[in-house]
């Protein structure tokens, strides 16, 4: 008992209505260690951390910081205790510089000496091995630089305990390595760090110990050196899981989609997709990789007729050999032509589904215009909803439940189920497993593989590079709206893709 615990949670419980987000959780963070908190989505990791950072207040249980029993009632209290949280979504002001964001909200003397603050920040960053220019404006920064600002912000305020919520989700492999280097430096400096993640390789690489949560319950904490990917997965899921994704050879690939020099502008007139060209074939899965916001969304929406095309064209080759120019058509024209283009958008409840409607109503999104002239047909969508619930094991009280009330995985099953039911010839999916637990993720991978075997051309945006390398046949990498490379997924490496993701277009080939 020599070493004091930086944080200790005893019997912490938090409920949201009927849902128990944290059920009698015990957690210990030793001083000067890196602790990973591992758990699937909805296992209560973020809720627990939000109680430490003062966003939620526990219903039951006690929290000890450095051995003292504390009540954390607001983020301010949390800060006074030296706890700093780096959220998944950055809370920075775009038009201010890094230094200005860092000192924002701090009390100080009447006169602001910016140079002195810059010096202090530089001293801090060199100590831990960050790279940061304090005068740089946030809007000029990459995602990883913004994250650096967030971390320096809490360090500058004297945080001794850092909590990072999924810090690597937005980083390339190279950036992740850099971040880990910094975290190790901080640990050497005596800081205690909690890192929330669900990437098992990273857990094994960075942490000293791993705490596992499952469905709001605390399972166990193990020493990282005793753990393996398989053992951690089993703890996380509660059963043994087969972690291999099957990949068959494409069967008689035929050209389905061809994009030629497509450029799309956003509202401000900036090119979000510039001069993008690629081809997609039936019977294959084409993966799309890139740092988030590199044009993935626009790429898919342009094919679906939901994005205004500035120049270039999208062609669709139907199985009968006819060519349709999709870039000239609106989404309803594509629908009326009976081109079976299925699309599972990134924003499931905001674009693919109607959150307040029940399952039947959501099936009608694709089918309401068919049938009688004036009145809708609710019978066949209802049957379809029942079929999807039955086939994909959707957990729902009934098919009259608004989809908003379903869990993320079940929402996705409903959406993917509906899109597959259209028997598409092209299936586009964006971030198909984001927010899903492992079992649901594998259900979705299997569904995509099934479609591939049926001869569907699957185009799929996936953020997890390990998965994209295992699942896809070819990988298209986007960087800043440009196609920076198309690689064979069977031979490519993570590092190669990581470089393409940050490459400014053509220069990538030089590397």
Partner 1 sequence: MLSREMTKQKKEPLFQMVKRDYIAPSKALLIRFAAVALALVVCALVIIAITKQNPVEVYGGIISGAIGTKRRAWVTVRETVLLLLIAVGLTPAFKMKFWNIGAEGQILIGGTCSAAIMIYLGDKLPNALLLVMIFIVSILAGMVWSLLPAVFKAKYNTNETLFTLMLNYVAMQIVTFCIVFWENPSGSNTVGVINSKSKGGWFPSIGGSQYVLNVIIVLVVTILISVYMNYSKQGYELAVVGESQNTARYAGINVKKVIIRTVLLSGGICGLAGAVVVSGGSHTISTSTAGGRGFTAIIVAWMAKFNPIAMVVISLLLVFMQQGAIQIASQFSLNENASDIITGILLFFLIGCEFFIHYQIKLHKKSKEVQS
Give residues in contact with partner 1 (CB under 8 A).
16-19, 57, 60, 62, 68-73, 77, 80-81, 304, 306, 330-332, 334-336, 343, 345, 347, 349-357, 361, 364-366, 368-369, 374-376, 378, 405
Q: What does the chain come to in residues?
A: 511
Q: What is the distance, to the nearest Å, from the Cα of residue 51 to the centroid of all Cα atoms in its chain?
A: 22
Shortest separation between residue 363's beta carbon and partner 1, angstroms: 11
Query: Closest CB to partner 1 among 305 and 498?
Result: 305
Shortest separation between residue 377's beta carbon and partner 1, angstroms: 9
- Residue 394, SS3 per DSSP: coil
Query: Closest CB to partner 1 among 403 and 465?
Result: 403
Query: Closest CB to partner 1 among 283 and 381?
Result: 381
DSSP string, 398-420: -TTSBGGGS-HHHHHHHHHHHHH
Within 10 Å of residue 359's Cβ, how many Cβ atoms? 28
Query: Closest CB to partner 1 among 332 and 400?
Result: 332
Distance CA 24, CA 197 (A): 21
Alpha carbon distances (Å) from 335 to 43, 167, 211, 419: 39, 40, 49, 13
Shortest separation between residue 366's beta carbon and partner 1, angstroms: 7
H or E stretch including 36?
strand 34-38
Shortest separation between residue 356's beta carbon and partner 1, angstroms: 6
Whether the Cβ atoms of residue 429 and residue 458 lie closer than 8 Å to each other: yes
Looking up tokens 């899981």 gives 241
Shortest separation between residue 368's beta carbon and partner 1, angstroms: 5
Shortest separation between residue 81's beta carbon and partner 1, angstroms: 8
Query: Closest CB to partner 1 among 14 and 452?
Result: 14
Among residues 353, 407, 408, the alpha carbon closest in space to that of 385 is found at 353
H or E stretch including 121?
helix 114-128
Within 10 Å of residue 4's Cβ, how many Cβ atoms? 13
Shortest separation between residue 154's beta carbon and partner 1, angstroms: 17
Shortest separation between residue 25's beta carbon and partner 1, angstroms: 17
Query: Closest CB to partner 1 among 39 and 82?
Result: 82
Query: Closest CB to partner 1 among 278 and 343?
Result: 343
Whether the Cβ atoms of residue 170 and residue 139 lie closer than 8 Å to each other: no
Distance CA 322, CA 301 (A): 22
Query: Closest CB to partner 1 among 57 and 139?
Result: 57
Looking up tokens 């890196």 gives 34
Query: Closest CB to partner 1 among 62 and 223?
Result: 62
Beta strands in 122-208 (DSSP E): 161-165, 192-197
Cα-Cα-Cα-Cα dihedral sign, residues 173, 175, 176, 182: positive
Shortest separation between residue 453's beta carbon and partner 1, angstroms: 27
Distance CA 81, CA 100 (A): 23
């Amino acid at each position: 008992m020599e070493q004091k615990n930086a944080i200790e949670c005893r019997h912490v419980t938090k409920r949201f209505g009927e849902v128990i987000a944290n059920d009698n959780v015990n957690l210990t963070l030793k001083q000067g260690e890196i602790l990973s908190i591992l758990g699937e989505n909805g296992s209560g990791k973020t809720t627990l951390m939000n109680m430490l950072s003062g966003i939620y207040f526990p219903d039951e249980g006690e929290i000890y910081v450095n051995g003292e029993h504390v009540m954390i009632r607001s983020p301010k209290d949390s800060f006074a205790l030296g706890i700093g949280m780096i959220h998944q979504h950055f809370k920075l002001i775009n038009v201010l510089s890094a230094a200005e964001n860092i000192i924002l909200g701090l009390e100080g003397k009447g006169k602001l000496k910016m140079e002195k603050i810059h010096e202090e920040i530089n001293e801090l960053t060199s100590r831990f091995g960050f790279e940061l220019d304090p005068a740089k404006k946030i809007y000029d920064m990459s995602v990883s630089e913004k994250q650096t600002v967030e971390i320096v912000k809490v360090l500058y305020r004297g945080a001794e305990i850092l909590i990072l919520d999924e810090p690597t989700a937005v980083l390339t492999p190279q950036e992740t390595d850099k971040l880990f280097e910094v975290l190790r430096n901080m640990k050497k400096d005596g800081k205690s760090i909690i890192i929330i993640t669900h990437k098992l390789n990273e857990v094994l690489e960075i942490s000293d110990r791993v705490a596992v949560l499952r469905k709001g319950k605390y399972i166990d904490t193990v020493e990282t050196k005793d753990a393996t990917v398989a053992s951690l997965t089993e703890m996380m899921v509660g059963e043994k899981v087969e972690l291999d994704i099957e990949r068959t050879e494409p069967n008689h690939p035929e050209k389905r989609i061809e994009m030629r020099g497509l450029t799309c502008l956003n509202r401000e007139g900036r090119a979000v997709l510039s001069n993008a060209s690629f081809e997609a074939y039936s019977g294959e899965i084409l993966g799309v990789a890139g740092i988030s916001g590199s044009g993935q969304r626009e790429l898919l929406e342009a094919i679906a007729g939901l994005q205004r095309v500035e120049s270039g064209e999208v062609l669709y080759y139907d199985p009968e050999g006819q060519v349709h120019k999709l870039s000239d058509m609106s989404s309803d024209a594509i629908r009326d032509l009976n081109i079976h283009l299925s699309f599972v958008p990134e924003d499931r409840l905001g674009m693919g589904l109607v959150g307040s409607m029940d399952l039947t109503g959501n099936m009608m999104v694709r089918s309401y215009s068919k049938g009688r002239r004036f009145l809708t047909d609710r019978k066949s969508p209802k049957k379809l909803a029942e079929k999807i619930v039955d086939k994909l094991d959707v957990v729902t009280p009934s098919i009259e439940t608004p989809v908003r009330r379903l869990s993320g995985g079940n929402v996705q099953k409903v959406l993917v189920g509906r899109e597959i039911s259209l028997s598409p010839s092209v299936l586009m999916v964006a971030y198909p497993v984001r927010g899903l637990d492992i079992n649901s993720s594998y259900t979705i991978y299997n569904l995509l593989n099934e479609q591939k075997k049926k001869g569907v051309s699957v185009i799929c945006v996936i953020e997890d590079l390990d998965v994209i390398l295992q699942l896809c046949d070819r990988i298209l990498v986007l960087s800043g709206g440009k196609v920076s490379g198309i690689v064979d997924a069977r031979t490519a490496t993570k590092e190669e893709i990581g470089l393409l993701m940050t490459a400014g277009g053509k220069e990538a080939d030089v590397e």
